[in-house]
Amino acid sequence: MPLPEGPSVAVAMPRSRLRGLTRRVTSIPEITLLVLCVIAFILFTAANKGFATGPNIESLFLTIVYTGIVAAGEAVIMIAGEFDLSVGSVAGMGAIVSGLLMTSWGLPVPAAIAGGVAAGAVVGLVNGLITVKVGIPAFVTTLSMLYIAKGLGYVMSGGDPVYPLPPDAGNLARTDILGIPSSIWVFLLIIVVADLVLRFSTWGRMVYATGGNPRTTGLAGISTTKVKILAFALCGALASFGGIMLVSRLQRADASIGQGWELNVITACVVGGVALGGGVGTIAGVFLGLVLLQGVQQGLVIAGVDASLQPVVAGMILIGAVGFDLYRRRRTV
């Protein structure tokens, strides 16, 4: 029997198509985050034209560079079904190790940077072995390592900043390339490479499978133990490198580097669509989450909002992001 023609049918069909399109768009967290970033950019620019200036955009990226590098590693371990609370302290410890290798040991800057990154990888490896092999929950393991790494940083440095560093220690973060600081280029390169590896490499697919359904993944012949341990080591290495990047920017190593970063990076990961239960999320989403959080914070400052209200807004964004993520998943099931 043919469908009756009329305005009700004509209106219903476009509406159904619109609902389908909306559903497909909202199923991609990166699109939603991109839309939110654009909306925030427009609103804060309307409130103060200084928000859209080049120096402010550069300042935004310079602010998220260091925690952004750490967040890339945190995202990997969270997608694998674990998390790491020690990343901030590991960043500070790696900064001290690298600084001491440059000054007390007289190593070339590249070798000192490699040594600091290796120290972070070793800490991550220890976290992975204790969590996965011994069976102590990641919360306890990495919280303990937070204090251990922080203490090691202060012991090695004697509680004092490590300086003066060699003049070329600043090349990593302070060199201008096409008018943009090299730290931003390094950060963007890490984000792109990490995102592509997770999306398209065999190991990346194993990370998603391990976090999504570890039992089935293990039955398929994939060693979830090795995947998680390697993810922990990578997280530690990137955490240490994030601290070293800040050392290059500041031209001194300080054990206080990285203090409080663990909460910032986990917040960025969650806002960026990384599931706390594992198996879901992308590095691109984490990048947009970082931009959104820092953009809102700088926008509030430029708009003259009381600084004490900024953490309140960040908390509201986090709750909203988690709530929307739950809603999106239910709609797409």
* 204 contacts: CB under 8 Å, gap ≥ 6: 197, 198
Instruction: Of 111, 291, 42, give the one whose Cα is nearest residue 187.
Output: 291
Does residue 105 have a pLDDT over 60? yes
CA 84 to chain centre: 12
Q: How far apart are CA 152 and CA 158, in angstroms?
A: 10
In a domain, 187, yes or no: yes
In a domain, 86, yes or no: yes
- Residue 19's pLDDT is what? 63
Q: What is the pTM of this model?
A: 0.88
255 and 307 in contact (C-beta within 8 Å)? no
In a domain, 194, yes or no: yes
Rg of the chain over all Cα atoms, to the nearest angstrom = 22
Residue that has been written with the tokens 């990166």 in this structure: 30
Question: Rounded to the nearest 5°, which phi and psi values hold at 229?
Answer: -65, -45
- Residue 142's pLDDT is what? 97
Q: How far apart are CA 156 and CA 144, in angstroms?
A: 18
Q: Which residue has the higher pLDDT, 82 or 30?
A: 82
Residue 181: beta bridge partners?
Answer: 176
Split at pLDDT 50, 70, 90, the class of 27 is low
In a domain, 45, yes or no: no
SS3 assignment, position 35: helix
| pLDDT digit string, tens, across residues 256-311 | 999 999 988 998 999 898 988 889 899 999 999 999 988 888 888 887 777 777 77
In a domain, 151, yes or no: yes
- Residue 134's pLDDT is what? 95
Instruction: Of 78, 77, 81, 330, give the one whose Cα is nearest residue 216.
Output: 81
The number of domains in the chain is 1
- Residue 240's pLDDT is what? 97
Q: Check which CATH number belongs to the domain holding 110 and give it.
A: 1.10.3470
Q: How far apart are CA 144 and CA 87, in angstroms?
A: 12
- Residue 176's pLDDT is what? 93
104 and 300 in contact (C-beta within 8 Å)? no
Q: How far apart are CA 21 and CA 267, in angstroms?
A: 29
| pLDDT digit string, tens, across residues 72-100 | 999 999 999 999 999 999 999 999 999 99
In a domain, 11, yes or no: no
- Residue 3's pLDDT is what? 47
- Residue 138's pLDDT is what? 95
What tokens does 29 get?
A: 């967290």
Q: How far apart are CA 23 and CA 319, in angstroms?
A: 21
Instruction: Of 56, 70, 64, 43, give the one whose Cα is nearest residue 294.
Output: 64
Q: How far apart are CA 67 and CA 74, in angstroms?
A: 10
| pLDDT digit string, tens, across residues 207-262 | 999 999 988 998 888 999 999 999 999 999 999 999 999 999 999 999 999 999 99
In a domain, 22, yes or no: no
What tokens does 242 get?
A: 């994030």
- Residue 186's pLDDT is what? 96
Structural domain range at position 310: 53-332
In a domain, 46, yes or no: no
Residue type, 77: I
Does residue 147 have a pLDDT over 90? yes
